[in-house]
Amino acid sequence: MNEFEKLEAELRELQPSEPSAEFASRLESALGEAGNVAVRCLPDEAEEECTVKDKMEVNPTHFLRFPRLLAIGGLSGLGLAAIWAFFFYISGNILSDESDASRANVTPIAGNIDVGQPLASLVEDVDSPIHGLSLEQIQDVSVMPVNGWLDPQSNERLLRMVDEGVFQQPSGFPARRVRHFFMDETLWSHPASDTRVLSTTPREEVILIELETY
Amino acid sequence: MNTEPIWKSWFARHGAKLLMFARQQSRRPEEAEDLLQEAFVRIWRLYGHTGEVAPGLVYRAIRRLAIDWARSIDRRQAREQRVALDSPLSFSFDRTLEQDERKHALMRAVERLPDQQKEVVTLKIWGELTFDEIARTLDESLNTVASRYRYALQKLKEWVPEEMEGKTSGSSSAS
């Protein structure tokens, strides 16, 4: 190490004093919404959540690392399918009964409509695993209770943010467009049977950050 | 989910160095914070969405803003009224460093440097910028900033022993 390098090392040891906390607060106020566009998870957060947010992108393999999540998703799908089938069965029966009762009074609008046949959407699928089953039987087959569900709980989860660049607004001022990708989650719970059904729906939200020209 | 804006960790890393440079450019501590705030907010609004902003952009914005502000009459008067004792770097460093005689001598030697050399040393040592980045920040040629840095180190090498002797002789005479 020559003399200049030694001098440089000594200079680096002189640490500049830190800005005050008040100044940091001032900065936060001055930044406004622009300060919250890029965020990171704090260290005590779950690793998987931080990975998604820090990189601001969604890696499909990310979800494969969480078998628990997959299991919940799979069960949710099955549960939802069972509920859908159940309601389809109920509505089919009710409408079928109504149509049987009123069938005699219906006047065909067109000659080629056979009122003796139920509407296509109400045709029962004889191949369905729940065809011909009673409510109790369906409950047994689906392993899903019919009554006793709590009100659903909704939650939104931010997956990533994408900066789409600077656009000129109709007012003429530039603005940065940032698209947020959320996953809305709805959870139905049945405490008696400790059953939960999770539904997830993707959603996008766009925010515009006005820029000052410099 | 518990999150923190990225600018906070970014500023924790670079804030002290940027503030020191702002003090050097503005010469007045109260103006330095305004200068840094203005420069940082402008740059972060433009590039902050990426989560990582090159510090050189903020250094450059500080310098250009300082020049703009200095052009205004009010700011010029303020600069003219500045007191020589308000040496910008003296309060830019951690005061506990003064316990170390050599470091204190080094700090005083840095303060004696001409402004042009001092800003190059600041950007190189504490800003950790390359000569190329410094040249772009200061709107000077690469050779110019490299020369200024070399001259500055040469002077510091000569002045630090002087400062130490001066302090020693001053203390002995006082005693």
For A70-112, the DSSP string reads: HHHHHHHHHHHHHHHHHHHHHHHHHHHHHHHHHGGGPPPSSTT
Nearest chain B residue to A36 by CA distance is: B5
Q: How confident is the model at residue A118 (pLDDT cuts 50, 70, 90)?
A: very low
In this prediction, residue B99 carries a pLDDT of 57
In this prediction, residue B86 carries a pLDDT of 47
According to DSSP, the residues that pair with A174 across neighbouring strands are A168
Mutate to test the interface with B, among A7, A161, A166, A182 (most CBs of B within 10 A): A7
How many whole angstroms separate alpha carbon A186 and alpha carbon B170?
76
Contact B16 A7 (CB under 8 A): no
Tens of pLDDT, residue by residue over A38-77, are 777 666 644 444 443 444 443 344 333 434 444 444 555 5
Is 50 exceeded by the pLDDT of residue A32?
Answer: yes
| In contact, B110 and A11? CB cutoff 8 Å | yes
Give the closest-approach CA distance of B9 to chain A in angstroms: 9
According to DSSP, the residues that pair with A200 across neighbouring strands are A185
Is 80 exceeded by the pLDDT of residue B49?
Answer: no
Stretch B140-164: mean pLDDT, rounded? 91
- Nearest 5°: CA angle at B9, between A10 and A23? 85
Is 70 exceeded by the pLDDT of residue B1?
Answer: no
Is 90 exceeded by the pLDDT of residue B144?
Answer: yes
Q: How confident is the model at residue A200 (pLDDT cuts 50, 70, 90)?
A: very high
Stretch A22-35: mean pLDDT, rounded? 85
Which chain A residues have a beta carbon less than 8 Å from that of B91?
17
More confident residue, B103 or A187: A187
The beta-carbon neighbor of B106 closest among A10, A40, A45 is A10
Is 70 exceeded by the pLDDT of residue A13?
Answer: yes
The beta-carbon neighbor of A211 closest among B1, B46, B103 is B46
Contact B16 A19 (CB under 8 A): yes
More confident residue, A97 or B109: B109
In this prediction, residue A202 carries a pLDDT of 92
Give the closest-approach CA distance of A183 to chain B in angstroms: 14
Is 70 exceeded by the pLDDT of residue B17?
Answer: yes
Q: How confident is the model at residue B81 (pLDDT cuts 50, 70, 90)?
A: low
Give the closest-approach CA distance of B135 to chain A in angstroms: 19
How many whole angstroms separate alpha carbon A59 and alpha carbon B49?
19
In this prediction, residue B121 carries a pLDDT of 92
* C-alpha separations of B160 from A6, A145, B61, B152, B168 in Å: 13, 84, 32, 12, 12
In this prediction, residue A213 carries a pLDDT of 59
More confident residue, B65 or A56: B65
* Best mean pLDDT range from A83-87, A105-109, A118-122, B61-65: B61-65
- The torsion angles phi and psi of A173, rounded to 5 degrees, stand at -85, 145
The beta-carbon neighbor of A17 closest among B6, B7, B93 is B93
Which chain A residues have a beta carbon less than 8 Å from that of B153?
4, 7-8
Q: What is the pTM of this model?
A: 0.51
Tens of pLDDT, residue by residue over A142-175, are 777 778 888 899 888 888 888 888 777 777 677 7
| In contact, A205 and A174? CB cutoff 8 Å | no
In this prediction, residue B151 carries a pLDDT of 94
Q: How confident is the model at residue A139 (pLDDT cuts 50, 70, 90)?
A: confident
The beta-carbon neighbor of A35 closest among B5, B102, B103 is B5
The beta-carbon neighbor of A8 closest among B2, B16, B125 is B125
In this prediction, residue A20 carries a pLDDT of 85
Of A7-11, A69-73, B150-154, the poorest mean pLDDT is in A69-73
Helix (H, G, I), strand (E, B) or coil at B157: helix
Which chain B residues have a beta carbon less than 8 Å from that of A176?
45-46, 49
Q: How confident is the model at residue B147 (pLDDT cuts 50, 70, 90)?
A: very high
Q: How confident is the model at residue A209 (pLDDT cuts 50, 70, 90)?
A: confident
- The torsion angles phi and psi of A133, rounded to 5 degrees, stand at -90, 150
Q: What is the average pLDDT score of chain A?
A: 69
Q: How confident is the model at residue A112 (pLDDT cuts 50, 70, 90)?
A: very low
Stretch B59-87: mean pLDDT, rounded? 68
Domains of chain B: 1-84 (no CATH), 97-175 (1.10.10.10)
Which chain B residues have a beta carbon less than 8 Å from that of A25?
none
Q: How confident is the model at residue A187 (pLDDT cuts 50, 70, 90)?
A: very high
